[in-house]
Amino acid sequence: MPLTWQPVILWQGTMKEQRIYMDWNATAPLMPAAREACLSALDLAGNPSSVHGEGRKIRTLIENARRDVAALCGAQPANVVFTSGATEAANWVLTPEFRMGKTPMLIGHLYISAIEHPAIREGGRFGKADVSEIAVTSAGTIDLVALEEALAAHDRQSGLPMVAVMLANNETGIVQPIAEVSRLVKAVGGILLVDAVQAAGRLPLSIEELGADFLIISSHKIGGPKGVGALIARGEILMPSALIRGGGQEKGHRSGTENPAAIAGFAVAARIALDDLENRMAAVTALRDRLETAMIAAAPDVLIHGRDGKRIGNTCFFTLPGLKSETGQIAFDLEGVALSAGSACSSGKVGQSYVLSAMGHDPRHGALRISIGPSTTEIEIDRCADVFAKIAARRSLSGAAA
């Protein structure tokens, strides 16, 4: 089976009846090759910690997967630790308690940008008083001056500072200036965590070039199965205290028997995500731009957040004046288009976007997110544009009638 995505059809029928999936930032469709890898691994007997032949076979599968995930992030395989997902990885690494080799090391305070994913915003194992938000600019990027001032005022007696910043925002797609952030963090001897969940498979990743100490990625965002992710470290010396203790799997960093089936699917997705990344994302970006051009033609007052800055090429986060987020999401869904009102981490709730608030926009106006991927087609893009035009016209007519 070829290592690629296939068009996503949510149910069979005529072209008009087929639904269009445009919520890749919530979950990318499972790749056929990743699914096959999962199924094959399920047939393997044995525990990966066992020393007999069956156990060694599964151990080999996991270590090969570690190599593939490391390659996606420009890291060393030994520095990849598998978790149940990005949220677990965040809760593990966001802790005041680290070790430098065998020596305990204390982190005194956590600094996060105001647009971080809820898994970061909750602060992990830091107390609420030990977490500070750093403002972002109206362009949606972290305010570097505010970060520098916060780090300069950091109480060194409390321990080292930790900074957590996402590489690409899950709602807007806006790319953060991580190299500049790293420079500021390293100038004060701090630790930098980069949430690369939305960037993986959409931007080239190198933990060394980013200057990050840790990266977080998630399988289901790149076409692998749900329920598996990884924390990638820059080296083996500096590591957070274990969140899950037990049998000492993953070198004692994350106890519990590994999930070989999910890890195998994750590895396949990582290999595909890395293959021909630049050309694949150029094609995706062209589709996104085609859609946005059509949207502006249909509704010149549409506001596409981050359009003038650097974004990952698959994301369009927009506000259509006069259209509430929940109303718009339902309207698109009834027309057969699956999109979202932002982060998909709040049990289906549609609320005001704290990302828009942080950027200085009135969150009551709401916004909708279209996120696409390699299997999205021109036909789907054009049909989505037609649905957008229909909804925009209906909004205009409603306003005129009022």
Give the number of other CB atoms < 10 A from CB of residue 301. 11
38, 73, 316, 345: the active-site residue: 345
Report the distance separating Cα 265 and Cα 302, nearest Å. Answer: 39
**Rounded distance, CA 160 to CA 154, Å?**
8
Instruction: Give the three-class secondary structure for 97.
Output: strand
Bridge partners for 230 per DSSP = 82, 217
> In the sheet where 368-371 sits, what is the strand order?
303-304, 315-319, 368-371
Cα gap 356→120, rounded to integer Å: 17
Q: What is the pTM of this model?
A: 0.92
Q: What is the pLDDT of residue 402?
A: 34
384 an active-site residue? Answer: no
Do the bridges between strand 315-319 and strand 368-371 make them parallel or antiparallel, or are there none, so unpaired?
antiparallel
Q: What is the pLDDT of residue 341?
A: 86
If DSSP codes are grouped into helix, strand and coil, which group holds residue 63?
A: helix
Listed in sequence order, the residues at least 6 apart from 349 whose beta carbon sits closer than 8 Å to its beta carbon are none
Provide the token pair at 16: 């008009």
pLDDT at position 272 is 97
Cβ–Cβ < 8 Å for 394, 381: no
Q: Kindly report the backbone phi and psi dihedral angles of residue 265, in degrees, each rounded to the nearest multiple of 5, phi listed first.
A: -65, -40
- 48 Cβ contact list (under 8 Å, min separation 6): 55, 58, 59, 61, 62, 249, 257, 258, 260
Q: Domains along the chain?
A: 20-30+277-396 (3.90.1150.10), 36-274 (3.40.640.10)
Distance set, CA 396 to CA 120, 122, 223, 301, 393 (Å): 39, 40, 38, 11, 5
Per residue of the chain (402 residues), what is the pLDDT tens digit?
345 655 544 433 344 458 999 999 999 999 999 999 999 999 999 999 999 999 999 999 999 999 999 999 999 999 999 999 999 999 999 999 999 998 999 999 999 999 999 999 999 999 999 999 999 999 999 999 999 999 999 999 999 999 999 999 999 999 999 999 999 999 999 999 999 999 999 999 999 999 999 999 999 999 999 999 999 999 999 999 999 999 999 999 999 999 999 999 999 999 999 999 999 999 999 999 999 999 999 999 999 999 999 999 999 999 999 899 999 999 999 999 999 986 555 444 556 789 999 999 887 778 999 999 999 999 999 999 999 999 999 886 655 433
Q: Distance between CA atoms of 27 and 22, rounded to whole angstroms?
A: 10
Residue 228 φ then ψ, to 5°: -150, 140
